[in-house]
Amino acid sequence: MSQPLLELQDLSVHFRVYGGYLRVLDGVNFRVAPQEKVGLVGETGCGKTTTMKTIMRILPQPPGIVRGGKILFKGKEVLRMDTGEVEQMRRREIAMIFQDPTAALNPVFTIGEQLFDAIRYATGKETDHRFLHEVAVRALEEVALPDPARILTNYPIQLSGGMRQRVCIALALACPKELLIADEPGTSLDVTIQDQILRLIHRLAEERKMAVILISHSLGVIRDWTERVWVMYAGTIVEEAETQELFARPLHPYTQALLRCVPKLTGEGIAKGIPGRIPDYFDPPSGCRFHPRCPYRMEVCSREKPRLYGTSSHQVACFLYQEGKR
Amino acid sequence: MSIPLLEVRNLQKFFFTTRGVVKAVQGVSFTLDAGETLGLVGESGSGKSTIAYTVMGIYTPTGGQIFFRGKDISMPHEKRPLALKKELQIVFQDPGSSLNPRRSIGEILALPLSIHGNHRPGTREEQVRELLRMVELPPEYVSKYPRALGGGEKQMVAIARALAVEPSLVVLDEPTSALDVSVQAKIINMLVEIQKERGLGYLFITHDLSLMRNIAHRVAIMYLGQVMEMAPSRVFFEKPLHPYTRMLISSIPVVSEDEEKLKPQKVIPRGEIPSPVNLPSGCVFHPRCVEREERCSREEPQMKEVEPGHWVKCHLTGA
């Protein structure tokens, strides 16, 4: 296998709070190959965004504390980079877009001013207005916004939610990048608009040979737009597989339960939900963090944390799949 | 034919703003029976919530009428008798802002009981505990405050509050849109069970079509304040006729091959819902429609019943 573009090894991130620590990320392993489209799926509060913020080095510290593990981007250790190297990485290599385009844009500057700033930042040089204008117009054309010259003079409030998200994509990708982290990019939009945005991200990734990490709580979105999925539960990776494989044969009891909860178009009714609630990070369950809610729990589950079992195309962190069993 | 629980006839709701008249709802008609769930779906800005609020009396209709058990209830909220308000209850999307943060769960649940007075003296505490039991929350929650609860639990409390006075019609305005699927599953199952037990009518508003397929008996799809298609749930999803319905269904992300087969061959969604101030001429959907003809921009189509119970508002669908 080729060298991964991004690799997380055993990443643990805690938060210092009054009276102790919130043990949020607990040994997260994650990998993205160059040009690969990867999905990170999990429910609210499972640590998806914390993981990405740690990669981008935008996790507020304190209260965040990296307790252990490594992040390797093109072989370099992200957590050991100095400020200059981090800047360089954000300018040229990794871009990020967020769930709420309204919050991501500054309401008091025009799209043009914000886009010029982004281009100046990414290219890192003083550039003349004509050059900036040219790059900005091209960036807006790339994201299929009509009449780019007019949009440059608009304020965010004059655009619809879908158009604002397109602007955010233009801001992120005005200059070439190798990896795009898209954190719930269509979640606040209508399905028809979400579909357009995801289609756009997919097209840009293909054209520019760019890797994508798509973060979503929606299994359907992940199934449609990624090649490989990592399933997260309570700060741990519970399963990883090629997308088709995961949806055809989900192995982890959590993945299986989650899939049953998704309402289907075929109308077979909805499962009862998953008993219990997501654990308290203050005092997370020992061993496998899913064990208190798991219908198949065994004695070992509360004692030891399962490692990832399986093959390179499908791995699962569950003792049910230990060698010799199943 | 028996009298429906709720009948909305040619309902209109306009908002007069400095930038023009917003025609949020223009000529919507439907009925809802006891024990039935009618799903109202559509993109944001299609007028779903405006209908809900008008039914509840929060807005006064600009035109048209609303009947509850055959009686006209189109009057403003203040004019509605208390006994009527008891029959119609609503659950909002965001339980974080619909529960008073300064009241305990016990107080929140006791309030409707004391307003509507349908409790026997001395048993209010028991009734509150019974309400908590109904939504499967532990009895000690009586003394907790909303901020101590998770999103799903807060919504359970909001549901318990709506059901406290034993209404016959509940308007559910995106009750699970802000929640994770595993929590949604729990709430939806509970709602379905309670409906079966009590024969409640649900007016269920959501933008989530997959969810609709699983709980609504009939579905109406709205676009710019109009119903474009209305049909029994199964027909709606297996034989969608309106180009807008097909576009919407085809853009739903699904999780299995069986579902993929149900989606109309990929109609690539395009355009956005236009401003309700400047409505397109003719059929309001024509600027986004892939199948539009010349007359679509000229003439407004009529609602046609193509088979019993299946209504479509499109020139291209023959009666």
CB contact under 8 A, B185 and A270: yes
Q: Using alpha carbons only, what angle is made at residue A230 by residues A10 and A168, rounded to the nearest 5 degrees?
A: 100
For residue B118, the model assigns a pLDDT of: 64
Are B181 and B170 in contact by the 8 Å Cβ rule? The answer is: no
Question: For residue B117, is pLDDT > 80?
Answer: no
CB contact under 8 A, A257 and B182: yes
Per-residue pLDDT tens over the stretch B130-143: 899 989 899 999 99
With beta carbons under 8 A apart, name residues in chain B contacting A258: 181-182
Are B202 and B172 in contact by the 8 Å Cβ rule? The answer is: yes
Name the pLDDT band for B229 (thresholds 50, 70, 90). very high
Q: Which residues contact B126 (CB under 8 A, 6 or more apart)?
A: none
Question: For residue B119, is pLDDT > 70?
Answer: no
Question: For residue B199, is pLDDT > 80?
Answer: yes
For residue B157, the model assigns a pLDDT of: 95
Written as one string, the DSSP assignment of A128-165 is: -HHHHHHHHHHHHHHTT-S-HHHHHT--GGGS-HHHHH
With beta carbons under 8 A apart, name residues in chain A contacting B253: 191, 194-195, 218-221, 223-224
With beta carbons under 8 A apart, name residues in chain A contacting B150: 277
3-state helix, strand, coil in chain A (%, to 5): 40, 25, 40
For residue A212, the model assigns a pLDDT of: 96
Question: For residue B120, is pLDDT > 80?
Answer: no
Number of CB atoms found within 10 A of residue B31's CB: 17
With beta carbons under 8 A apart, name residues in chain A contacting B44: 190
Name the pLDDT band for B146 (thresholds 50, 70, 90). very high
Residue in chain B closest to A246 (alpha carbons) equals B255
* Rounded distance between C-alpha atoms, residue B123 and residue B262, angstroms: 51
CA B163, distance to chain mean position in Å, is: 16
CB contact under 8 A, A263 and B273: no
Per-position pLDDT tens, chain A of length 326:
568 999 999 999 999 988 889 999 999 999 999 999 999 999 988 999 999 999 999 998 888 899 999 999 999 999 999 999 999 899 889 999 988 888 889 999 999 999 999 998 888 776 788 888 988 998 998 888 888 999 999 999 998 888 899 999 999 988 889 999 999 888 878 888 888 889 999 999 999 999 999 999 999 999 999 999 999 999 999 999 999 999 999 999 999 999 999 999 888 888 888 888 888 888 999 999 999 999 999 999 999 999 999 888 899 999 999 875 54
Per-residue pLDDT tens over the stretch B41-83: 988 888 999 999 999 999 999 999 999 999 999 988 888 999 8
Considering Cα of A253, then A256, then A262, then A263, what sign does the dihedral take?
negative
Supply the pTM of this predicted model. 0.88
For residue B275, the model assigns a pLDDT of: 79
CA B203, distance to chain mean position in Å, is: 5
For residues B301-307, average pLDDT: 92
B264 and A CB contact within 8 Å: no
For residue B318, the model assigns a pLDDT of: 67
- Length of chain A measured in residues: 326
For residue A160, the model assigns a pLDDT of: 85
Quick one: tokens of B117? 């007075």
Per-residue pLDDT tens over the stretch B248-292: 999 889 998 888 888 887 677 888 888 778 889 999 999 999 888
Picking from A303, A308, A312, the residue whose alpha carbon sits closest to that of residue A321 is A308
For residue B269, the model assigns a pLDDT of: 80
For residue A194, the model assigns a pLDDT of: 87
Q: What percent of chain B has pLDDT over 70?
A: 97
Residue in chain B closest to A217 (alpha carbons) equals B180
CB contact under 8 A, B186 and A272: yes
* Rounded distance between C-alpha atoms, residue A59 and residue A218, angstroms: 24
* Rounded distance between C-alpha atoms, residue B61 and residue B14, angstroms: 8
Instruction: State the nearest Cα–Cα gap between A222 and chain B, in angstroms.
Output: 8
* Rounded distance between C-alpha atoms, residue A46 and residue A237, angstroms: 10
With beta carbons under 8 A apart, name residues in chain A contacting B259: 264-266
* Rounded distance between C-alpha atoms, residue A201 and residue A207, angstroms: 10
Are A186 and A197 in contact by the 8 Å Cβ rule? The answer is: yes
Q: Which of residues 104-133 of A touch B (CB under 8 A)?
A: none
In this structure, the strands spanning B226-232 and B218-223 are: antiparallel
In this structure, the strands spanning B37-41 and B6-17 are: unpaired
Q: What percent of chain B has pLDDT over 90?
A: 63
For residue B1, the model assigns a pLDDT of: 57
Name the pLDDT band for B243 (thresholds 50, 70, 90). very high
Q: Which residues contact A290 (CB under 8 A, 6 or more apart)?
A: A233, A234, A238, A252, A253, A254
